[in-house]
């Protein structure tokens, strides 16, 4: 048995200055509600069973459910119900994670089709690449953020499955409208509506992961889902850049519609409702199953019936407004908004830099531009691999040093890996554009920057999810909105700034802004996070 057994609970209460145990350990835990304890102690969870025995007492600790190897306390505590997603088989969980990841690709994948088609669209509608970017790309990116907030309201009331089904159904219809749009105004309207409705999976994923997986496995699964929406804006420029060079741009949108239809098919036939009303009481029992119940759950009839047991309309609508101003959330949102936002700007404007003739750009052919977009795709996969091991290692090391207790702020140590890579990547990319260096410099700069964005974004999502475990949807929506607001306008100024003063100044200043925010925000949150969580929980 560990050395912790020799310490009494009174000693734990009195020892307030050891950096681990605070007044949160004080109190009688004999009547603790284990189903919601992880929400009541947001950002601080006891993972070591030995520490749990000391902190909660033998009676409560004996009721705790542990991981299969008996080494980690499970949060949330699974219910004695096979319908609890925490109790599903690994195969069933993996299918749902795959579906939500493929669905998370859709919004930015559809948006990225416009990057591959930008020159063809300008020719088709007798316009310029700048007008196409401003009227369609930038505004569709802008609406990705606001659509997420609307989706969360309906998810809180009616569940995950029906909202994602209907949102993807509508997004598919509007993408078909893009394919056959007769003029630029119609095309712009269809593209904006596609983005607004299609963004739902980019907020549903955080819900689904936390519904199905215990706390100690969530960061690794979030890494997979996050990789989906980070890699998605590069997939379509890469795949369709080659196509648009030889065929009509309408084929690109047509194939994008086919992908959306495939995702819709997977949702309809294999998707399952992961929402489990864990803390609710006196709920009606679920039907045993069957096709009728399956259809009712998919289209939302079951959700409508269950709505009276869930958050009211007022609670659902007001939740984001009650949440966003919390100091530790607002500050990390600002940091992530600029870090991710400048990355969005690179994705939108690099096609212009690469395709424009010297001295502004490289004068690449359509084939070369498409090939260049393989760079960020490979980089995101590398970032996923790094995050896969780094996040788990950080959790294990910090929890062990903290005597079996996890503190949410430890998630942010991954940012210390990301920021040096981010600075390096942006400076190399700016130098490559300004001095027209070799393609190798372009590839290295762009790739290193995307690795940094991937690693940092997962850390931010995991940290905010740990701090606000009752509001995964709102957290996702607000972070989604932050990164969109940080990035949709970059395309307006990035190219003109680079043309006037050089790309090195442009990208160097962007990297400096992000580095400055990191220095101001991340260490401050790590030092004061426990106090902020105690005083500003929601």
Confidence at residue 286, expressed as pLDDT on a 0 to 100 scale: 67
% of the chain residues with pLDDT over 90: 46
Q: Residue 272 gets which letter from DSSP?
A: -
Confidence at residue 30, expressed as pLDDT on a 0 to 100 scale: 53
The SS3 call for residue 62 is: coil
Angle at 37 between CA 526 and CA 321, to 5 degrees: 60
Q: Which helix (H) or strand (E) holds 124?
A: helix 118-124
405: β partners: 46
The SS3 call for residue 46 is: strand
pLDDT higher than threshold 60 for residue 9:
no
Q: Mean pLDDT, the chain, as a whole number? A: 86
Q: How confident is the model at residue 10 (pLDDT cuts 50, 70, 90)?
A: very low
pLDDT higher than threshold 50 for residue 23:
no
pTM of this structure: 0.87
Residue with tokens 């979030």: 222
pLDDT higher than threshold 90 for residue 512:
yes
Rounded to the nearest 10°, the torsion over CA 204, 220, 78, 294 is 40
Confidence at residue 15, expressed as pLDDT on a 0 to 100 scale: 39
């Amino acid at each position: 048995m560990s050395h912790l057994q020799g310490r009494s609970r009174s000693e734990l209460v009195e020892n307030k200055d050891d950096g681990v145990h605070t007044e949160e350990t004080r109190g009688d835990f004999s009547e603790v509600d284990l189903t919601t304890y992880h929400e009541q102690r947001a950002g601080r969870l006891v993972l070591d069973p030995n520490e749990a025995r000391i902190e909660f007492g033998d009676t409560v600790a004996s009721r705790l459910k542990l991981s299969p190897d008996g080494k980690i306390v499970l949060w949330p505590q699974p219910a004695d119900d096979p319908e609890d997603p925490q109790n599903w088989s690994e195969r069933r969980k993996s299918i749902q994670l795959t579906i939500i990841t493929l669905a998370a690709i859709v919004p930015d994948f559809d948006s990225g089709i416009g990057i591959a088609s930008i020159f063809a669209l300008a020719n088709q509608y007798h316009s310029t690449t700048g007008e196409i970017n401003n009227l369609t790309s930038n505004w569709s990116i802008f609406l990705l953020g606001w659509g997420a907030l609307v989706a969360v309201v309906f998810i809180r009331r009616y569940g995950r499955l029906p909202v994602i089904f209907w949102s993807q159904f509508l997004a598919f219809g509007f993408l078909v409208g893009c394919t056959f749009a007769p003029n630029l105004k119609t095309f712009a309207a269809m593209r904006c509506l596609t983005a607004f409705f299609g963004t739902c999976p980019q907020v549903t994923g955080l819900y689904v992961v936390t519904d199905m997986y215990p706390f100690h496995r969530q960061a690794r699964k979030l890494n997979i889902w996050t990789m989906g929406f980070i890699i998605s804006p590069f997939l379509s420029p890469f795949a369709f850049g080659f196509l648009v060079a030889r065929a009509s741009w309408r084929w690109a949108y047509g194939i994008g519609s086919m992908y959306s239809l495939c995702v819709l098919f997977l949702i309809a036939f294999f998707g399952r409702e992961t929402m489990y009303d864990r803390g609710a009481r006196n709920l009606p029992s679920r039907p045993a199953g069957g096709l009728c119940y399956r259809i009712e759950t998919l289209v939302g009839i079951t959700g409508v019936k269950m709505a009276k047991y869930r958050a009211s309309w007022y609670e659902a609508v007001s939740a984001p407004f009650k949440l966003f101003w919390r100091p530790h959330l607002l500050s990390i949102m600002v940091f992530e908004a600029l870090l991710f936002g400048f990355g969005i700007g690179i994705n939108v404007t690099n096609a212009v830099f690469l395709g424009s003739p010297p001295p502004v750009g490289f004068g690449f052919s359509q084939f070369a531009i498409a090939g260049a977009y393989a760079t960020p795709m490979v980089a995101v996969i590398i970032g996923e691999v790094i995050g896969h091991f780094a996040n788990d290692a950080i959790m294990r090391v910090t929890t062990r040093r903290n005597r079996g207790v996890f503190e949410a702020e430890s998630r942010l140590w991954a940012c210390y890996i990301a920021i040096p890579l981010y600075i390096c990547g942006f400076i190399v990319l700016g130098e490559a554009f300004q001095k027209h260096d070799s393609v190798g410099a372009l590839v290295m700069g762009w790739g290193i920057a995307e690795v940094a964005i991937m690693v940092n974004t997962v850390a931010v999502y995991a940290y905010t999810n740990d701090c606000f475990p009752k509001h995964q949807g709102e957290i996702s929506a607000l972070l989604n909105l932050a990164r969109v607001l940080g990035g949709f306008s970059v395309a307006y100024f990035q190219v003109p700034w680079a043309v006037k003063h050089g790309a090195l100044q442009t990208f160097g200043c962007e990297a400096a802004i992000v580095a400055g925010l990191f220095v101001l925000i991340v260490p401050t949150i790590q030092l004061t996070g426990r106090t902020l969580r105690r005083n500003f929980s929601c």
